[in-house]
A and B are shown apart, each in its own frame.
Chain A
C-alpha cells in the first residue's frame, strides 16, 4: 500500500540559509524529552529565528527553520512498580543520551519534557518532572496533560503542515502504549484536541500467549463485547482482534464525525471531542508503525512481537480504513512524533515589539488570569484585584486579546487599570493577543514609575487555567511555552 505524504518543508531538512538581516538571526538548541507509558525518548533540534519583515518595516521575528540534530534510541520507560517511575534510571537514560549526542546542558536554550499517557498518572509523576526539568537545562519546561500532548504529537507528526498543504481538516491520532491523543488541525492550527484510553499496551501478553495484564480502563468495553480476555488466561486471536477491531471502529467514527457507542464514549479522558469531521487522517505513535506497513497477522505469534496488542491494533486500523485509503496521509514521524513535537513545537515566539526586563527572565509556571473581552475597557478589569489576591505570593499574568489597533486613549485606560492592580513587589506581567504590547507596557511603566518591573508581551494566546513560562530573550523577542498542568492538588 502506498500513502500520501506531507512534503518535506524545513522540519527534517536543512535549516534555510539566508542573509543575516541586520544581525537579526539566531539559532539555538532545543531539547525534547518524552516520558511515555511505554517508551522514553530524547531529541535535540536546532531552531532558527530570524526577521521575516522587509527592511523598512518593524522587524517580525519568526521561527523559520527547525532541524533535528539527534534522535535517541527508544528506551523502555523504567518503572519501580506499576504506579511509580524509576527516577534514578530515568535520569541515567537522559544523561546517557546527552553524552551520546555530545551536547552540554548549558547549550540548551529551550525545550520541553513531556510526561505522557498513563505515566502522567503515576504517583511520583509531578516530582519526576520537577527534578528532570532542572536537570535537563535552564529553560526546559516540564509539561503534562493529554490535550497538550495531543497538540505536540500532531505537530510532530506533521499534521499542522498537512492541513495547509491539503487545505483540509487533518486529524492525527497518536496511539501510544496507554493512550491515544487526537488533534484536529486547520490552517496549521489546532481546532480540537482530545485523548482516549486506547493503546497498544493496555493488554500485555507473554511469549506463551498468556495475558499478563489488562488495564482497568478497558474492562467495561471487554465485558460489553463479551470477550474472553482475562489475566492468566491464554489469549485467543479472535477475541483480541474483536477488541482491536472495536478500537479501530472508534477511529473511523471519530474521523467521520459519526456517533460513538456508549462504551466508546467512556474511553475519552477528561472530555469528549467536538465532533468535527476531518477530511484527512494521520496516525502516529508506536502503533502507527504497523498501520503504514504491510505487516500481516495470521496467528497469536505475530501479535506478541512486543508482548502487547500494538501490532494487532495497527493491523485492525489499517483494515478498517482500507475503503478510505484516499483519506490517509502518512505521518512524517510516527513513534517519535510526540518527542519531536515537544522539542520543537512547544515554543512560541512573542511579537517583536514588546517590553521586558531581561533580569526577570526566565519566569516559570506563571498562572494566567484571562479577562473576558468587553468593548468597555473599564468593565474588562472589574474585580481583577480580588482574583490577583487569591494567588497570594505567586506572581500572576493578566491576559486578554484587546482591540486590533487600540487608540492611545484605550491604551491609557488599560494601563491605568493594570497599574492600579499592581501588587507591591510582584512584577506586572501582561499577555495580549493583538500587537500593542510595547505601547501598553511602556504606558504602564510610566504610570507606575516606582521601579516596579513590567513585562508586556503580545501575539501569544492563552486561556484561563493555563500556565506560561517566559524564557530569556532571543533577538528582542521572548520564547514562551504555554501549558496546562493536569496534576491534581
Chain B
C-alpha cells in the first residue's frame, strides 16, 4: 500500500508539473523555478487536482505546526546556552500576548546578570520566535562558525542565551542588562507556505529599549534552501566587525 501512496512532503514541487500531457514539460519546469507560486498544476474540471489541494493543505499544516513547535532544548544545552523565559507562561499566551514575549521579569534579568559574562563585545541570543523549527534546523550550524569566526578575530564573546517564548525586542533588555557592544539575535521567522525553517538574524550596536526598531541590521531567509546557515554565520562575523568599527547599526549604517 505504501508504495502506491506518494509522500507529498518528499516531492520537490519546484520541478513537479502535474498538467496532464503538457506540450512542453521543460518549459513548465523553467517557469516553476522562477516562482514560489503554485503554477503548472493542471486541473480536474474547473477545480484543482486532489494532489494540488493536499499539497497546499500539507504546507499550510507545516506552517501551523511550526508556530506551535518547541525548540529541542538538547540542542541549546549542547551548545552551552544559558536558558531564560519571557513573561509568556506558555505557547498559547505567547501567541495571544505579543507584549509578554518581549519582556522579562526582574528575577530573570537578575539571573542573566548573575550568570552571564558582563560587557562582552558580542552577545549571541537564540529564540524560538514564530518557528522553533528554524532554530532546530539551523542553530547547530550557524552558532559554531559564528563562535570560531568571532574568536579568531579576538572578540570577547558573551555567554550565549536561549530565550523561550521570545520575540526580537528581547535583545534590547538583555543588551542593557549585560552592557554588550553588539547583540546578535537568531530568531525563527513567521512560517509561510514555502518553508518552516527560515531564520532571521537581527543585530544592533548597543541594543537598547530606548532606541527605535530601525537600530537593527537584519539578515533574513537563513535556511538550507535560502542563505545557507554556515554562509550566514561567516557573513555575521564580517558584520560584527563593521558594527564595532562604525559604532552604529540599522538604517544609520550604510553597508
Binary per-residue interface labels of chain A (348-364) against chain B in the complex, 1 for a CB within 8 Å, 0 otherwise: 00000101000000000
User: Is A56's CB under 8 angstroms from B220's CB?
Assistant: yes
For residue A437, which residues in chain B have a CB less than 8 angstroms away from its CB?
231
Known: A56-B220, A167-B24. A353 touches B148 (CB 8 A): no
B96 at the interface (CB under 8 A from A): no
Binary per-residue interface labels of chain B (205-236) against chain A in the complex, 1 for a CB within 8 Å, 0 otherwise: 00000000000001111011101111111110
| Segment 426-459 of A: residues with Cβ below 8 Å from B | 434-439, 441-443, 445-446, 449
Known: A22-B254, A405-B229. A438 touches B235 (CB 8 A): yes
Give B36 Cβ to nearest chain A Cβ, in Å. Answer: 14
Among A56, A57, A435, the residue within 8 A (CB) of B231 is A435
Of B148, B219, B223, B234, which is in contact with the most chain A CB atoms at under 10 Å from its CB?
Answer: B234
| Segment 158-184 of B: residues with Cβ below 8 Å from A | none
Known: A56-B218, A167-B24. A408 touches B234 (CB 8 A): no
Please tell me which stretch of B37-45, B50-58, B106-114, B137-145 contacts chain A, meaning at least 4 of its Cβ atoms lie within 8 angstroms of it: B137-145
For residue A57, which residues in chain B have a CB less than 8 angstroms away from its CB?
219-221, 227
A404 at the interface (CB under 8 A from B): yes
B152 at the interface (CB under 8 A from A): yes
User: Is B145's CB under 8 angstroms from A435's CB?
Assistant: no
How many angstroms from the CA of A448 to the CA of B155 in the assembled complex? 19
Known: A353-B235, A408-B144. A439 touches B230 (CB 8 A): yes
- The closest CB in chain A to the CB of B239 belongs to A58
User: Is B235's CB under 8 angstroms from A407's CB?
Assistant: no
User: Is A404's CB under 8 angstroms from B224's CB?
Assistant: yes
- The closest CB in chain B to the CB of A403 belongs to B228
How many angstroms from the CA of A405 to the CA of B232 in the assembled complex? 11
User: Is A405's CB under 8 angstroms from B254's CB?
Assistant: no
How many angstroms from the CA of A230 to the CA of B32 in the assembled complex? 57
User: Is A406's CB under 8 angstroms from B221's CB?
Assistant: no
For residue B229, which residues in chain A have a CB less than 8 angstroms away from its CB?
405
User: Is A442's CB under 8 angstroms from B149's CB?
Assistant: yes
- The closest CB in chain B to the CB of A59 belongs to B255
Binary per-residue interface labels of chain B (20-37) against chain A in the complex, 1 for a CB within 8 Å, 0 otherwise: 000010110010000000
User: Is A58's CB under 8 angstroms from B232's CB?
Assistant: yes
How many angstroms from the CA of A411 to the CA of B26 in the assembled complex? 34
| Segment 6-58 of A: residues with Cβ below 8 Å from B | 22-24, 56-58
How many angstroms from the CA of A227 to the CA of B225 in the assembled complex? 61
A466 at the interface (CB under 8 A from B): no
For residue B227, which residues in chain A have a CB less than 8 angstroms away from its CB?
57-58, 353, 435
How many angstroms from the CA of A16 to the CA of B203 in the assembled complex? 33
For residue A23, which residues in chain B have a CB less than 8 angstroms away from its CB?
254
A187 at the interface (CB under 8 A from B): yes
Among A22, A167, A408, the residue within 8 A (CB) of B230 is A408
For residue B26, which residues in chain A have a CB less than 8 angstroms away from its CB?
167
B237 at the interface (CB under 8 A from A): yes
- The closest CB in chain A to the CB of B230 belongs to A439
User: Is B225's CB under 8 angstroms from A439's CB?
Assistant: no
- The closest CB in chain A to the CB of B222 belongs to A58
For residue B141, which residues in chain A have a CB less than 8 angstroms away from its CB?
407-408
Among B142, B224, B231, the residue within 8 A (CB) of A353 is B231
Give B192 Cβ to nearest chain A Cβ, in Å. Answer: 14
How many angstroms from the CA of A406 to the CA of B229 in the assembled complex? 8
- The closest CB in chain A to the CB of B146 belongs to A408
For residue B231, which residues in chain A have a CB less than 8 angstroms away from its CB?
58, 353, 435-439
Binary per-residue interface labels of chain A (408-435) against chain B in the complex, 1 for a CB within 8 Å, 0 otherwise: 1001000000000000000000000011
User: Is A436's CB under 8 angstroms from B228's CB?
Assistant: yes
Number of interface residues of A (CB under 8 A): 29
How many angstroms from the CA of A109 to the CA of B45 in the assembled complex? 58
For residue B255, which residues in chain A have a CB less than 8 angstroms away from its CB?
22, 24, 59
User: Is B219's CB under 8 angstroms from A56's CB?
Assistant: yes
User: Is B220's CB under 8 angstroms from A446's CB?
Assistant: no
How many angstroms from the CA of A408 to the CA of B145 in the assembled complex? 7
| Segment 107-143 of B: residues with Cβ below 8 Å from A | 140-142
For residue B230, which residues in chain A have a CB less than 8 angstroms away from its CB?
405-408, 411, 436, 439
User: Is B24's CB under 8 angstroms from A442's CB?
Assistant: no
- The closest CB in chain B to the CB of A404 belongs to B224
How many angstroms from the CA of A392 to the CA of B51 in the assembled complex? 59
For residue A407, which residues in chain B have a CB less than 8 angstroms away from its CB?
140-141, 230
User: Is A439's CB under 8 angstroms from B30's CB?
Assistant: no
Known: A57-B220, A404-B228, A408-B230. A439 touches B27 (CB 8 A): no
How many angstroms from the CA of A442 to the CA of B146 in the assembled complex? 10
How many angstroms from the CA of A405 to the CA of B224 in the assembled complex? 5
Among A167, A434, A446, the residue within 8 A (CB) of B149 is A446
For residue B224, which residues in chain A have a CB less than 8 angstroms away from its CB?
404-405
For residue A445, which residues in chain B have a CB less than 8 angstroms away from its CB?
152
Give A400 Cβ to nearest chain B Cβ, in Å. Answer: 16
Among B145, B219, B221, B225, the residue within 8 A (CB) of A411 is B145
How many angstroms from the CA of A54 to the CA of B140 in the assembled complex? 27
For residue A24, which residues in chain B have a CB less than 8 angstroms away from its CB?
255
For residue B238, which residues in chain A have a CB less than 8 angstroms away from its CB?
438
User: Is B148's CB under 8 angstroms from A439's CB?
Assistant: no
Among A187, A405, A435, A442, the residue within 8 A (CB) of B237 is A442
User: Is B30's CB under 8 angstroms from A167's CB?
Assistant: yes
Give A474 Cβ to nearest chain B Cβ, in Å. Answer: 15
Among B24, B200, B233, B254, the residue within 8 A (CB) of A439 is B233
User: Is A439's CB under 8 angstroms from B140's CB?
Assistant: no
Give B129 Cβ to nearest chain A Cβ, in Å. Answer: 15
- The closest CB in chain A to the CB of B149 belongs to A442
- The closest CB in chain B to the CB of A23 belongs to B254
Of B141, B220, B225, which is in contact with the most chain A CB atoms at under 10 Å from its CB?
Answer: B141
Among A59, A167, A434, A441, the residue within 8 A (CB) of B27 is A167
Known: A167-B30, A405-B229, A443-B148. A438 touches B234 (CB 8 A): yes
How many angstroms from the CA of A438 to the CA of B237 in the assembled complex? 10
For residue B219, which residues in chain A have a CB less than 8 angstroms away from its CB?
56-58
For residue B144, which residues in chain A have a CB less than 8 angstroms away from its CB?
408
For residue B234, which residues in chain A have a CB less than 8 angstroms away from its CB?
353, 355, 438-439, 441-443
User: Is A435's CB under 8 angstroms from B220's CB?
Assistant: no
| Closest 4 pairs between A and B when the two form their complex, measured CB to CB | A405-B224, A438-B234, A405-B228, A439-B230
Jot down 8 A-B pairs with beta carbons below 8 A, ordered by A: A22-B255, A57-B221, A58-B219, A405-B230, A407-B230, A408-B140, A436-B231, A439-B231
Apart from A436-B230, A439-B233, what 12 extra A-B contacts exist at CB < 8 Å?
A22-B255, A56-B219, A58-B231, A353-B234, A404-B228, A408-B144, A411-B145, A434-B228, A438-B235, A439-B231, A443-B148, A446-B148
